[in-house]
Structure 1
Amino acid sequence: MKSFPMFVRTTDRRVVIVGGGEQAAQKARLLLKTDATLVLVAPELEAELSGVVQSGRAQHVLALTPELFDDAAMAFIGTGCPCVDACAHALAKSARCPVNVVDQPELCDITTPAIVDRDPIVVAIGSEGTAPVLTREIKTKLERSLPQTLGGLASLSGLLRPSVSKHVPHERRRAFWAWVFKGSPRATWVRGAEREAVKKIKDAIMQGGVNDTTQSGQIALVGAGPGARDLLTLRAVERLQEADVIFYDRLVDAEVLELARRDAERVFVGKHVGAHSWPQERINQMIVAEARKGRRVVRLKSGDPGVFGRAGEEIEAARAAGIPVEMVPGVTAACAAGASLTRSLTERGVANTLVLATGTGSIDDPTPDSTRLSGPGTTTALYMSVRQAGRLAKDWIDQGLPASSHVDICADVSKPSQITIPATVETMASRMAEEGITGCAILLVTWPEALASEKTKTVFHSLHSVDEIGLAG
């Protein structure tokens, strides 16, 4: 190593920033995460830095003097002028103050790393200036893997250490803290149930640091997004990396499963339209059974679990068994389809309503009235509708939508095999047959106000006025 990584205390200490423009502002943003007193040295300050001074978080000094650097924790110099930077560097060195000069590594005693901030947990990543792109990539991966709330749990542990020292025997403390940070308290904390986690920890302290042998499991219904793994949310990645067992179906891309920890059990449930090799009731039973063993269960669903994912049945089964359950939203296929087309699903003056519908229903209602909410000023996104395309086209035409209206057919959205096919209402069934699309696809149909006759508008709005009155009654 050419640089030794370490943390510098900032409490009750000054950090000097020389410069009043954007370079200085970038350093100030970083240092404002600490509790240091900032000293900004410049004849004039740009608006952002002036705001920092007005907020009381920094002092503004007009003139640069050697005394400013005496006993400062560190100094950052970024005036934008190489000559001024060199002079400020010389003054800082004369006071033996560690210094960083922006974009001049040969004048730097210290460098600023890429930081993952979960205060008080902080991860610093550096490459000694050789590979900043790589350090940013590592930072991004760590941001995904470390829960945003992890710092709060660390802060809580600091507050509770005196109580642990008093009530938990010395020989049991290591196991106790391992339980807090690796066991059910952490899992409970990161799913948002902080009060429950605090109670668990405090109860364990008063019992002398009991082992977590009776912990209950938990279930997370996680949205895997439309396919591309970089469209998963950070929370979804966190749950995959915490899971003991993952139940997934054929629509979940293999690359998404690669984000899970390697020793997590993976169970393929094989659900797909028209051939449920795993009935929903069996899935409900299995996820509950695994959670009862104290395991962290992820039910991984393509898209968003709350959009045509039968999440309600799984939530009900978990609650009936007294098992904590959460739902992690994902990018639903309709939004991903719009993004793949670089198209907004709503547009002022064209479509002010977005309808998500499915062309295939339940056994009791296999052909739902999927177009009943379609009308002038509406974009309709239809899921699971490939086999019903002919019927849906007829329904739209009967409602007054011109047969020549544009339809976007989007299959395997966000995956390498993605295909988008332009069609019309009249030709969408034949176009899918020509392209061999038989599985899942999203049909996007926008019915602009301009394409609707006055008669159609009147009928449509009068029908929905009646619906609203009926609902209100």
Structure 2
Amino acid sequence: MDSFPAFFPLAGRKVVIAGSGEAAEAKARLFDGSPATLVRLDGHAAYLPGSYSGAAFAFIASSDEVFVQAAAGAARAARVLVNVVDRPELCDFNTPAVIDRGQVVAAVGTGGGAPVLATMLRNDIEAQVPEGTGRVAALLAKFQTEVRKTLPALHERRAFLRDAVMGEAAAAAREGDMDRAGQLFREALAKGGARKGVVRFIAGKGPADLLTLRALRALGSADVLVLDGDVEPEVLKMARRDAERLDADGADAPHLIQLAREGRQIVRLITHPVDPALVHALTQAEVAVEVLPVAT
């Protein structure tokens, strides 16, 4: 790891942008809607250390070398971290490509050396993160203390939360209905650690970028993976690393039914058409079944 990523809380913090032009405006747009206090500097004020006093960090954006050197020197004299736009050799930190979903923030950095690549990767990730994801994070944060009290055992709490981000409460939050989301979350929490098992069939032949968002979430929350022998390795990488893995030959209908009745979240990664007899046996046993197609 060449750079260490870190997230700075912005509430009550001061951020300085020194300079003018499109590069300075682009940095300012990064903070649209944020709780930070944004201070814009130009001219002589940018040369004074006092202008940067108390700032969390500063951006210097100018094509004027004298301005850049003087402003960066003033900011550092005030003991403020500095980013000089398009001058990685003068930066204390680099600005990543940011996916902003409110309380959910993701970032892609390339050490300042390949911003176009970072932007392309950001776009790929952004497509997988729905607009309402931040509201789901806000919902979980609201109930964090209550969840800990209700489910003191770590493994039960993690299992509940994995189900919650896939459940009806999270769906309501993503749609913006926070009152209903809260009601559904309380109802789920009242049931405690009780889980309803499910078997989800997902195409494992690849390529991985054809997986739907729902399939990716299922892989991320699976307790058990049942695999055909020729599953695409890139698809398998999307699953939880600590999920139990079973060979398809050793996981017949009775075994899957037993696991589901234990409340396990099972993903059956298939490289051949779904076996109708298996689906019939599961549904006859009242096991929830989902078949998640690939994107087209």
Shared topology, TM-score over 0.5?
yes
> Residue in 2 aligned with 1:190?
166
Aligned equivalents of 1:115, 1:268: Cα separation in 2: 40
Percent identity, please. 33
For residues 161-204 of structure 1, give each alpha carbon's deviation from its aligned partner in whole angstroms, at most 9, with x where no partner exists. Answer: 56568xx3xxx8652x6533x21342232255434444222x26
- CA separation of 1:96/1:116 partners in 2, compared to 1, >3 Å: closer, same or farther? same
Considering Cα pairs closer than 8 Å and 6+ residues apart, tell me whether 1 or 2 has the greater RCO.
Answer: 2
Query: How many angstroms does 1:42 deviate by?
Result: 6.1
Does the 8 A contact of 1:147 with 1:238 survive in 2? no
Quick one: which of 243, 247, 267 aligns to 1:298? 267
Does 2:13 match 1:34?
A: no
The Cα offsets for residues 1-34 of structure 1, whole Å up to 9 and x where unpaired, read as: 9988654332133322234444334433433373
| 3-state SS of 2:27 partner | helix
Structure 1 contact 223–300 (Cα < 8 Å) conserved:
yes
Alignment of 1:34-73 (within 5 A): 34-41=34-41, 64=46, 66=48, 68-73=51-56
Q: Secondary structure at the match of 2:246?
A: strand
Kept in 2: contact 1:16–1:38 (CA 8 A): yes
1:92 aligns with 2:75: yes
Partner residue in 1 for 2:14 = 14
1:321 Cα deviation (Å)? 1.6
Cross-structure match for 2:173: none
The Cα offsets for residues 262-314 of structure 1, whole Å up to 9 and x where unpaired, read as 643234369xxxxxxx9xxx76x7654432221111233459xxxx8689x94
Q: Which residue of 1 aligns with 2:295?
A: 331
1:240 is matched with which residue?
A: 219
Residue matched to 1:156: 139
Query: How far apart in 2 are the matches of 1:232 and 1:248?
Result: 16
Aligned residues: 276
Match of 2:60 among 57, 77, 90: 77
Q: 1:243 offset after TM fit, Å?
A: 2.0
Structure 2: distance between partners of 1:317 and 1:159? 37
**Preserved CA contact (<8 Å) 1:147 1:235:** no
Asked whether the equivalents of residues 162 and 221 of structure 2 are also in contact (C-alpha less than 8 Å), the reply is: no
Give TM-score, length-normalised by structure 2.
0.65
**CA pair 173-121 structure 1, distance change in 2 beyond 3 A:** farther
Summarize the alignment of residues 244-283 of structure 1 with structure 2, pairs less than 5 Å apart: 244-247=223-226, 252-253=231-232, 255-260=234-239, 261=241, 263-268=243-248
Is residue 217 of structure 1 aligned with residue 197 of structure 2? yes
Letter in 1 for 2:60: I
Residue 228 of structure 1 pairs with residue 211 of structure 2: no
Q: For each residue in 1:335-372, what CA deviation from the matched residue of structure 2 results, as whole angstroms up to 9, or x when unmatched?
A: xxxxxxxxxxxxxxxxxxxxxxxxxxxxxxxxxxxxxx
Q: How many angstroms does 1:236 deviate by?
A: 2.6
The answer on whether the counterparts of 1:287 and 1:299 sit within 8 Å (CA) in structure 2 is: no
Alignment of 1:49-448 (within 5 A): 64=46, 66=48, 68-113=51-96, 120=103, 129=111, 152=135, 154-161=137-144, 163=146, 168=149, 174-175=152-153, 178-180=155-157, 182-194=158-170, 195=181, 196-201=184-189, 203=190, 212=193, 214-224=194-204, 227-247=206-226, 252-253=231-232, 255-260=234-239, 261=241, 263-268=243-248, 287-301=256-270, 314=279, 318=283, 321=286, 323=288, 325-332=289-296
Q: CA deviation at 1:239?
A: 2.1
Long gaps (5+) in structure 1: 44-61, 205-209, 271-277, 333-473
Output the aligned Cα RMSD.
Answer: 4.9
Q: Report the alpha carbon displacement of residue 220 of structure 1 after superposing the two structures with TM.
A: 2.5
TM-score by length of 1: 0.45
Max radius of gyration: which structure?
1
Q: Is the CA contact (8 Å cut-off) linking 1:288 and 1:318 kept in structure 2? A: no
SS in 2 for 1:90: helix
The 3-state SS of whatever aligns with 1:11 is coil
Q: Deviations over 1:384-425 (max 9, x none)?
A: xxxxxxxxxxxxxxxxxxxxxxxxxxxxxxxxxxxxxxxxxx
Secondary structure in 1 aligned to 2:59? strand
The amino acid that maps onto 1:88 is A
Q: Distance in 1 between matches of 2:237 and 2:145?
A: 41
Say if 1:10 and 1:35, in contact at 8 Å, map to a contact too: yes
